[in-house]
A and B are shown apart, each in its own frame.
Chain A
Amino acid sequence: MIKVDEVSKSIGGKPVIHDVSFHIAQGEVVGLLGPNGAGKTTMIRLMNDVITPDHGMIHIDGQRATVHGNTIRQLSGVVTESAGLYPELTARENLNFFARLYGVKQPQRRIDQLLMEFELKEHEDKLIGKYSTGMKKRLAIAKALLHEPKLLFLDEPTNGLDPDGIRDMIGYLRKLNEEQGTTILICSHVLHQLEDVCSSYLFIDQGRLIEKGTLEELERKYAGKIVIHVKTGLRAGSSELSGYQVREAGEQLLEFHLQDEQAISDLLRLMLRISWVHEVQIMNRSLESIYFEVRRRCHEL
């Protein structure tokens, strides 16, 4: 669906993307991760031919971006960091306008459907200038979905949403991907939200793609030993407990360093024979811990 080959881009003489290559298959949900200024938004702009690369090629759905920009933009939905809505117009007026730009068939039916879906129906005649940040973000996503795009680019889609809003948004994206096979590329800082929806990840730093893969692949490469915290009645008398590396991490809390996931069951069986265990938590298998490890190793090079 998305094929980016050796793309570089400078803006105002300053290089912002260096030799980036990646492929995204149809129906994938991919997280594009990186700190502020890493080049995530620039990548979205390049893929939509809003700006043109200095070097390299981008193909979206088999179409070369620099040649078939409008075809690509017609099949893409984009949510930018700023909602990109007209504050002087109402929600319905905004959606009507963009529906005309995207040539939506039966626009009123589709607008009604999206306003209902994003719980904005009762606010449809309110000016956007009077909307809360969360409402604007929901409407921006509704706008991006107006023409039922095959491909969705989301730049910080959960910014400004409350916890309920974030949960609903992630749930909606997952449903959209499962039911309609929409390919989704999400840029976000809030990494734990992405774990529930993304099938793979691209890590970008200072305009360079520094890593890519599924969570399992990244875990194998970066997580190394598994670190777990166990809430238990056992005490760590020394640095080892029945051959497992251990230390006290708090009151009734032990930290173990294990070779692999199988060792978790073996350890727990052993502990339960001697004392109680109330809680077990893997500390270094989250996307967030992998993200920091990827960046740490990248900066060491």
Chain B
Amino acid sequence: MNYNKIIAIADKDMKMTRKTGKVWISLILLPLILGVLIPAAIVSIGRWADILALGNGRIMLLLEHLSIPDKISMPTVNHRFVYFMTQYMLVPIFMLIPVINAMMIAVNSFVGEKERRTLESLLFAPIEIKDLFIGKLLASFIPAYASTLASFLVGGIIMNVLAYPMFGSIIFPSLNWFILLFWVIPVFTISAILFSVLVSARSKGFQEAQQIAGVIVLPIVGLLVGQSTGVVLMSPLVLLVLGGALMGLNLVLLVLIAKLNQRGLLFERQIQ
């Protein structure tokens, strides 16, 4: 591996991301909406709204079945609602931030080289294809993960400020969130990037690649449904297993991508 060349590719791609409006907007808006505004709105509802009136009592039913740790005081249904939303429902919503952003950047990076006809310049350069992929993976991972961390920090502060008068203590983040942030999200972000690379290699344009790569968010929708129905509630064990499964998926994706790790093959697929 040639680190200088990997960094040169990553640096160039991140510079291009900063200059590509649609990607840059997504990097700002998505964390702001999903990581800050929605959590703030949910905690605000929990603090000031009449929870009993929400969802024809179904939320009540769900909240009654929750296992709440003893150390957290839950005197009212509003407390239980805030706890349920911040510990379970926000998890899949939050996961959308890095996954969608990483997918957008990766698709733009790979299909963009093809559309601008710059991929040929890269293939004529003395760089290993593996280094080219790693550089592009970094360029997709770093901004997507950094924007997630930033929204985690800002969203976390706002949620705690809003919920502190109710609970009298800090409710966020829990162990779930730490496992999510430092295990599941990095692994899932890499899955999104690898999947986008594979899709980009077979797509003709940015929109086509983006639409197909969008399939990667389906597991998150599944998690969201699981949380809202109470079928699979996030626990540290569930999150550890989820991260492990995604790691397995990444290995499969890497094997598939390794087949593209030949200059001639990549050239014939992408440029001819």
Interface residues, chain A, CB within 8 Å of chain B? 11-12, 45, 48-52, 69-71, 73-74, 76, 78, 80, 82, 84-89, 93, 97-98, 100-103, 143
Contact = CB atoms under 8 A, between A and B. Distances in A.
Given A70-B128, A85-B121, A45 B267 contact: yes
Nearest to A98: B125
A45 B124 CA distance: 8
Interface stretch (B11-19, B75-83, B164-172): B11-19
B237 to A, nearest CB: 45
Contact of B123 (A50, A85, A88, A102): A50
A48 B126 CA distance: 10
From B15, B123, B128, residue with most partner A Cβ within 10 Å: B123
B267 A101 contact: no
A85 to B, nearest CB: 7
B45 to A, nearest CB: 42
Contacts of B22: none
B41 interface: no
Nearest to A16: B272
Contacts of A82: 117, 120
A92 B7 CA distance: 18
B264 interface: yes
Interface in B1-38: 4-5, 7-9, 11-12, 15-16, 19-20
A87 B267 contact: no
Contacts of A100: 4-5, 7-8, 11
A30 to B, nearest CB: 19
A87 B118 CA distance: 10
B134 interface: no
A290 B4 CA distance: 49
Given A88-B19, A89-B16, A50 B264 contact: yes
Contacts of B124: 48, 50, 73, 76, 78, 80, 84
Interface in B234-272: 263-264, 267-268, 272
B127 to A, nearest CB: 6
Contacts of B16: 86, 88-89
B71 interface: no
Interface residues of B, number: 28
A78 B123 CA distance: 11
Contact of B5 (A50, A85, A89, A101): A101
Interface of B: 4-5, 7-9, 11-12, 15-16, 19-20, 116-118, 120-128, 263-264, 267-268, 272
Given A12-B272, A103-B4, A97 B120 contact: no
Nearest to A143: B121
Contacts of A88: 16, 19-20
B264 A51 contact: yes
A175 B206 CA distance: 43
Given A50-B124, A101-B5, 7 more contacts: A11-B268, A51-B267, A70-B127, A78-B121, A84-B121, A85-B118, A86-B116
Contacts of A80: 120-121, 124
A102 to B, nearest CB: 7
Contacts of B268: 11-12, 51
A278 B138 CA distance: 71
Contact of B126 (A52, A73, A89): A73
4 tightest A-B CB contacts, nearest first: A84-B121, A100-B8, A74-B126, A73-B126
A143 B7 CA distance: 19
A81 to B, nearest CB: 9
Contacts of B127: 70, 101
Contacts of B118: 84-86
A49 B129 CA distance: 13
A50 B271 CA distance: 11
Contacts of A71: 126
From B7, B15, B116, B124, residue with most partner A Cβ within 10 Å: B124
A103 B4 CA distance: 8
A84 B15 contact: no
Contacts of A93: 15
Nearest to B18: A88
16 contacts: A11-B268, A50-B267, A51-B263, A51-B268, A52-B264, A70-B127, A73-B126, A82-B120, A84-B118, A86-B16, A88-B16, A97-B11, A100-B11, A101-B122, A101-B125, A143-B121
A93 B18 CA distance: 14
Nearest to B262: A52
A289 B82 CA distance: 85
